[in-house]
Amino acid sequence: MFRAIVPVLLLVALVGLSVALDRPQPPADLTFGNGNDVTTLDLQKMSWMQDLRVARLLFEGLAANDVFTDGYDPVPAAAERWEVSEDGREYVFHLRPTAKWSNGEPLRAGDFVFAWRRAILPDTAADYSGLFMFIEGAQAFADWRSDALSEFARSRPAGQSSAARAEAARELWAETERRFDEMVGVRAVDDRTLVVRLDRPVPYFLDLCAFATFYPVYPPLVRQYDRLDAETGRIIAEAGWTQPPRLVSNGPFRLTVWRFKRDMRLEANEHWWDADSLAIRSIAIPSIEEPNAQVLAFRTGAVRYLADVTVPYRREMHARKQEFYREHWEEYVRLLGEGHDQFEIDRRLPDDPRAHVHVVPAFGTYFYNFNCRPALPDGRPNPFADARVRRAFAMCIDKRAITEEVRGLGEPVARTLIPPGSLGGYESPGGLDCLSDASDEAGRAAIAGRARALLAEAGYDDPSRFPAVEVLFNKDAGHDLIAQSIARNWQKRLGVPVRLAQKEIKVFRDDLKNHNFMTSRAGWYGDYGDPTTFLEINRTGDGNNDRDYSSSEFDALLDEAARETDPGRRMSLLSEAERVLVERDLPLVPIFHYCTVTMFNAHELSGPNPHPRTNENIFLYDVLGDGKGSDRVRTMPLHPRGPAAAGVAGSGGGAP
């Protein structure tokens, strides 16, 4: 009898434990929608916007960008100060004595060395490993490690036991650690002093130090989840250390809950050096991936801030916002003339649900990829390996129809990858003519005729026999409508067969990384304030080069610009590199420059700002009038020249 009861009692206990662990969390000071679920919190592996938003809450780099200044200048963060050598190649960072991990342990210079080594190691396969190759010896070390791993995989002696193989892998790893210390220009002089030696001056290096891939990780924890694979000799980085309650971080918040497809919760990190400045002490991030559900969550008060609104009716929401401005036209014009940014204008105008939608320019571009590999994934010859074919298809896209009829957010048509005017001292190339540049049907027909001539020159005299062009895109965010528009352009103007391939986001991402596509939608937001943040993603072998484009001329221009010490000459070289991309080779075709659509009530939330380069530093936010925070209103500085200077999505001088 007792044996029969035991399983029942055990089941009851397990159910009780499950219920206890699944009790509702207390309300958070701020609940926000992150657009999509976080894919990873491994700093050296992340690249998606939703991951980076949370990374900036949990971790902190040596520097940070001052998001409330025009220049977005780097300012001290985990490092309280730094010195730069006269030749611009050596940086000495001094960590704050009060900088700590969320477990109370001091932040050490060696923690940065450990994290940066993870990013440089080919074992990690980090998308942003290329950003570390400016460090002296980093490329040589990465090449040595790759060669050593290849040799290790090839040279297993006959009859070698598993134990002997594991010992050989350990010896290779010990040699790797020694080589890194000898070869790479990153060293911890002591616990609070980090010295970084670059192989050449990098004008934006401090900007890089503010980027999440350069943040530190806690070595005692991460080492527990690094597994040495005896067969390959590689370090396999398991993700268990990123889960609560294990995760140890050094930023404003610590992670307390992460339930897959459900929610995340963050609490203020009492060990953060500037913890007293936080106006909010807890943050909830519910998992709401369906765009309509996200908007509903905001409208019902379930979330206060939506980081990225992607519903197909955004244009209607934007139109209603413009209608609100017209109703308050005189006051709107006065505030605009005083130089207030869009968010401050909304705060000073009457509260109205229509004003809770915000459209601001972004430091990013929406584009279409062409797979540049010689063969398609199924082994057939790839027509897009020929630059003439890519140019022909690029010419036959009506970008203006996409921005005006599909998007309707005032986003500018893109002729270049880098948003024009976004970087001081950089002059954009002209770009390639396309259907959008023609004022009438005769002009569009002429452009299409030149495009068909390029196809014929490439050997495709009969477009109807061109291989069926597959367009890869993911669900939601209106990508389907853009794909349909482009497909119609290609079918009508080029006469080629086109089929659409809509996939779930994870499958879409995997197909991109594996080059399993012919053409695909894509987009890129700049990570730091320099043209190379857009151009380097097209360098041969770059982790973000989903097109697998390779041009010795393009790479040589980037290399020459990297060596150039004259700022004007350097920018000219980078402009020429972009010209090769957008006028001649076309591994991608820019469609439009992004505007970001967010939702929040400026009367209730302070902290977001409309700077085109802004990152959502949500730890700076304050819920106004909740009785908990400081009611701190943070805005961009006044601009006497009006909102364009402040990065506000204005109305081109006319009525909004």
Supply the pLDDT for residue 514: 92
Residue 557: its pLDDT value, please? 98
Report, as an integer, the average pLDDT of 73-93: 96
CA distance 374 to 24: 54
Does the structure show a pLDDT above 50 at 3? Answer: no
Q: Which residue blocks in 458-595 are alpha helix, DSSP H?
A: 479-494, 505-513, 532-535, 552-563, 567-579
Q: In the predicted model, what is the mean pLDDT of residues 486-492? A: 97
Decide if 273 is inside a domain. no
Q: Are residues 448 and 576 both part of a single domain?
A: yes
**Looking at residue 125, what is its pLDDT?**
87
Q: Is there a domain that residue 47 lies in?
A: yes
Residue 316: both structure tokens together: 């209607």
Name the percent of the chain lying above pLDDT 90.
77
pLDDT at residue 639 greater than cutoff 80: no
**CATH number, position 107:** 3.90.76.10
CB 634 within 8 A of CB 609: yes
| Residue 314 structure tokens | 């955004």
Q: Which helix (H) or strand (E) holds 13?
A: helix 2-21
Write out pLDDT tens, residues 155-213.
Answer: 888 878 999 999 999 999 999 999 999 999 999 999 999 999 999 999 899 999 999 99
Is 290 a domain residue?
Answer: no
User: What is the per-residue pLDDT for 23?
Assistant: 65
Q: Is residue 650 part of a domain?
A: no
Residue 322 DSSP SS3:
helix
SS3 label, residue 416? coil
- Residue 540: is its pLDDT beyond 60? yes
Percent pLDDT > 70 in the chain is 92
Q: Is residue 317 part of a domain?
A: no
Regarding whether 534 and 399 lie in a shared domain, the answer is yes
Give a yes or no: residue 12 inside a domain.
Answer: no
Distance CA 186, CA 188 (A): 7
Residue 611 binned pLDDT confidence (cut-offs 50, 70, 90) = confident
Question: How many whole angstroms separate alpha carbon 208 and alpha carbon 344?
Answer: 30
Whether 196 maps to a domain, the answer reads yes
**pLDDT tens digits for range 357-367:** 999 888 999 99
Least confident of 301-305, 340-344, 530-534, 610-614: 610-614
The reported pLDDT for the residue numbered 636 is 60
Same-domain pairing of 367 and 229: no
Q: Name the pLDDT band for 6 (thresholds 50, 70, 90).
A: very low
In this model, does residue 7 exceed pLDDT 70? no
Residue 555 in this model has a pLDDT that exceeds 90:
yes
Region of poorest pLDDT, from 253-267, 448-462, 470-484: 470-484
DSSP lists the bridge partners of residue 186 as 196
Which of these three, 554, 572, 595, is where a domain ends?
595
pLDDT reported for residue 247: 98
What is residue 70's predicted lDDT score, i.e. its pLDDT?
67
In a domain, 233, yes or no: yes
CB contact at 8 A, 35 and 307: yes
Tokens representing residue 71 in the block: 């220049």
- Residue 112 is part of which domain span? 33-242
Per-range mean pLDDT, top range of 264-268, 422-426, 615-619, 623-627 = 264-268
Using DSSP's 3-state secondary structure scheme, residue 165 falls into helix
> Could you give phi then psi for residue 363, rounded to 5 degrees?
-85, 65
pLDDT for residue 336 is more than 50: yes
Higher pLDDT, 126 or 354: 354
Q: What is the CA radius of gyration of the chain?
A: 26
| 105 compared with 616, residue with greater pLDDT | 105
Residues 6+ apart with CB under 8 A from 619: 56, 57, 251, 252, 253, 278, 280
Q: Are residues 223 and 367 in the same domain?
A: no
- What is the bridge-based pairing of β-strands 79-84 and 186-190? unpaired
Q: Which of 246-250, 408-412, 636-640 has the highest mean pLDDT?
A: 246-250
Q: What is the predicted pLDDT for the residue at 625?
A: 79
Pick the last residue of a domain from 242, 263, 282.
242
Mean pLDDT in residue range 543-550:
94
Angle between helices 329-337 and 314-327 (to 10 degrees): 90
Domain count, the chain: 2
Q: What is the pLDDT of residue 635?
A: 66
Q: What is the pLDDT of residue 618?
A: 92
pLDDT in tens, 8-26: 333 433 334 333 345 677 8
Q: Which residue, of 208, 242, 276, is where some domain finishes?
A: 242
Single-letter code of the amino acid located at 463: P
Mean pLDDT value across the chain = 90
Q: Rounded to 10 degrees, what is the CA torsion of 553, 558, 563, 567?
A: 120
Rounded to two decimals, the pTM is: 0.80
Both structure tokens of 156: 């297993």
pLDDT the model gives residue 16 = 40
**Within 10 A of 538 (CB to CB), how many other CB atoms are there?**
26
pLDDT digits (tens, 9 = 90+) for 224-280: 999 999 999 999 999 999 999 999 999 999 999 999 899 999 999 999 999 999 999
- H or E segment at 267? strand 263-268
Predicted pLDDT at 476: 75
- pLDDT on residue 638: 61
Task: Write out the H or E segment, with its range, that includes residue 83.
Answer: strand 79-84
311 or 575, higher pLDDT: 575
Strands (E), 294-441: 305-306, 357-370
CATH no. for residue 542?
Answer: 3.10.105.10
Q: What is the pLDDT of residue 475?
A: 80
pLDDT at 8: 39
> Distances in Å between the alpha carbon of 498 and those of 52, 56, 220, 465?
35, 41, 53, 12
pLDDT band at 2 (very low <50, low <70, confident <90, very high): very low
